[in-house]
Amino acid sequence: MSTNSHDRKYFGTDGVRGAVGQKLMTADFALRLANAAARVLAPNGGTVLIGKDTRLSGYMFESALEAGFVSAGVNVMLMGPLPTPGIAYMTKHFACDFGVVISASHNLYNDNGIKFFDGNGEKLSDALEHEIEKRLEEPSVTRESKALGRATRVDRSRAEYQKFCTSTFPAGLSLEGVKLVVDCANGAGYKVGPRVFADLGAEVIPIGTAPNGTNINDGCGATAPQLLQLMVTGAHADAGIALDGDGDRLIMVDAEGNIVNGDQLLYILAKDRKERGTLKTPVVGTVMSNVGLELALKELGIEFKRAQVGDRYVLEMLRETGGTLGAESSGHVLCLDIATTGDGIVSALQILAIMKRSGTTLQALTQGMHTFPQVLLNVAVSKKVDPYSVPAIEKAAKEIEKALGNEGRVVLRASGTEPVVRVMIEAREKETAERYAKSLADTVRAAV
């Protein structure tokens, strides 16, 4: 298992992230980070691909990273706005030594982040991130003039990523006759997203495709799909597709306006692959995945495992076990038989292919899975604590687990980003979940 991200000084579960202008998210730190990363990932010179989403601060960080890499003797290719999975793909396509994405994913514009891919378009190992952190403690280097890197713009090459996306849709199928509303969250997918679906023949109504530097994820996209729900039903569309700001999450909406989340998408994909004999098990979710997913997969005879929260941990478990399908409820869907990282556009195409092949609506495809009500309460605590290390809390949690049996779950965990303990109860009836969640939250409050 990987080292816990909280043991690292700068890197979290998905690169370096924070509020722009504070702590790590400054131009000075970005330059030093680039210089340190260059010395670890391309010590003898090489090439890096830099992509970003549509945040106003992206220009600043792009320039700072470029300076840091070039000064360390690494050539820079500047892609401009492209989904995170697109940068992963293009890093490998261009045979770069590594790739960098400037994005805070689903956060609002005042945050930003910097994440890295290796030459295969995969997330860096913990060991490499530790090595970069060690180099950050050393002074930056500037090579002599003849050894400096060069920078070039390659934004027209985004068409290569579009081609890759369309190539993942089965040959002989098209989206002719399918009406889609595509919400790009005013983010990195605003150009390529609608084009991919239109290239395959769909009638596309695009929304969230007018970024202005400050409206990314603001009332739109995978974290706020309410507008998409209204648009799908209002336009009598067959489905809605919501990406997040960097395009690695997918939430869908069926023709009736119902949200189809990551758990349901994973169920649809796993069931289809099982029926076609192409499924490699186990299927991997997280500790927050709905128990309804686990029971539905069990009914189909599909092995299911749970990883820690975070798509990097889902990916890690898939690599360890040889599985290819995984997801978080929030919409990070991994199809490792197709892409190296979660890709909202590619995942949507796999679901649309199942709809076309089977002649079935998205709503009908979700029917085999009963989603159990979940109640999540955040309990503020004065200090970070493992809730299971407190006897009174552990005892109360075990009693609730015993009472629920196979009809629900208890998840207790300390937040990695704020001083709260998350109490999540899942039960067949919402009232039951609410009652037990309140009771356990009261116990946590009293004990910590």
232 touches 239 (CB < 8 A): yes
Global pTM reads: 0.91
What tokens does 392 get? 């009174």
Instruction: Report in angstroms the alpha-carbon separations of 235 from 182, 229, 258.
Output: 12, 10, 15
Residue 198: per-residue pLDDT: 98
> So what's the pLDDT on residue 7?
64
**Per-residue pLDDT tens digits for 315-344:** 999 999 999 999 999 999 999 999 988 999
The Cα 307–Cα 325 span in angstroms is 13
pLDDT score recorded for residue 334? 97
b/e per residue 386-397 (b: at least 16 CB within 10 A): ebeebeebbebb
pLDDT-above-70 percentage for the chain: 98
Q: Which residues of the chain have pLDDT under 50?
A: 1-6
Residue 384's pLDDT is: 77
> Which pLDDT belongs to residue 12?
84
Residue 291 near residue 408 (C-beta atoms within 8 A): yes
Q: Is the peptide bond before 282 cis (omega within 30 degrees of 0)?
A: yes
Q: Active-site residue among 57, 71, 103, 105?
A: 105
Backbone angles phi, psi at 341, to 5 degrees: -145, 170
Quote the pLDDT of residue 417: 60
Is 105 among the catalytic positions?
yes
The domains located in the chain, with CATH, are 5-156 (3.40.120.10), 177-258 (3.40.120.10), 261-344+361-365 (3.40.120.10), 374-447 (3.30.310.50)
